[in-house]
Structure 1
């Protein structure tokens, strides 16, 4: 199975380093020196990571054969793709790889359909599920224990207990406010 693990950003300095937007829970494993990654577009790779370091909170990578700013800048917006064994599991019991969560159905505890996870957004403070609603809209669900109460990989679903306003339609919220104001 192939997974997008990062997107190349701007060139950094003049010696071929690039910033990367990490899209994996395990950058130390997937983006380590020596890792060979496929690319999208495919014409940019494969790329072999030569060095990696953190600078001002950003991961910087240098690839074999990329020696100057121009070559680094030519890679901008390229997606880095790793081959991952689909049976590989994280070390911790309550941890999941993104590929295990993508396409899970999202339901509330009472079984109400919310949508389907289309993406995991890894932010500095927490991860978010990007959930596509049946009507095509997207909602963002923080991946925290207080809200995501169960992940059932066998049933292919995530059960959530959303706070008011997280997934409710704006019209429903306005309607309930009008009812409260009139009471």
Structure 2
């Protein structure tokens, strides 16, 4: 989905630079992508520095995986010292939103899973909405539960007058393993998914 003329380009975040690696400008990247080629195959990427609005094009020269670390080491054109790599700490690596590798059956892009309405597979009851996706062995969906389903406990907070007032609680969330047995239906066209939760997964709900 390349941007049309005069429209703002949409971007996909693929990783974040977290530290220099060595003294020759290499840097460690924490990935936000399940596609290793984003960090291993040379070519153009984009970089958004901390506090910067528009990303700048950069050339990925090469990259490699750090086994057991969940990190990649990359080298960018024009970054040849540890100091230059350190200056990029916290910067985000991006690709255009339209640059999406093909998926196999049952695979989804993270961005497409955010904001989906969540329903109970058996009862049809709406449970909440997806707000994040985490990689931890199996992927985990973070679901923000509808407030009406959860017992409400008001939190007391002190004001300057030392009187207590009631603070609305934040919306509770649950982490759901993103496996077919628990998430049997993902309908991107209808912007919804269905959960068949095992015992204990939704104990927070009455």
Structure 1 length normalisation: TM-score? 0.81
Q: 1:119 aligns with which of 125, 128, 132?
A: 132
Residues 30, 83 of structure 1: CA spacing in aligned structure 2 closer, same or farther, 3 A cutoff? farther
Unaligned ranges ≥5, structure 2: 1-9, 148-170
Q: Is 1:85 the counterpart of 2:85 in the alignment?
A: no
Which of structures 1 and 2 has the bigger CA Rg? Answer: 2
8 Å contact from structure 1 (residues 40, 81) kept in 2: no
Q: 1:64 aligns with which of 67, 74, 77?
A: 77
What's the counterpart of residue 142 of structure 1?
177
Q: 1:15 aligns with which of 17, 24, 43?
A: 24
What's the counterpart of residue 175 of structure 1?
none
- Over the residues paired in the alignment, what is the CA RMSD in angstroms? 2.2
Residues 99, 66 of structure 1: CA spacing in aligned structure 2 closer, same or farther, 3 A cutoff? same
CA distance in 1, matches of 2:49, 2:76: 15
What's the counterpart of residue 159 of structure 1?
194
Aligned residues: 169
CA distance in 1, matches of 2:185, 2:130: 14
What's the counterpart of residue 142 of structure 2?
130
What's the counterpart of residue 108 of structure 2?
96
What's the counterpart of residue 107 of structure 1?
119
Q: CA deviation at 1:30?
A: 6.5
CA shift digits 1:2-29 (9 cap, x unpaired): 1111111111111111111111122314
Structure 1 counterpart SS, 2:111? helix
Structure 1 counterpart SS, 2:65? strand
Structure 2 length normalisation: TM-score? 0.73
Q: CA deviation at 1:38?
A: 3.6
Return structure 1 stretches of 4+ with deviation > 4 angstroms.
Answer: none
8 Å contact from structure 1 (residues 7, 77) kept in 2: yes
CA distance in 2, matches of 1:77, 1:155: 36
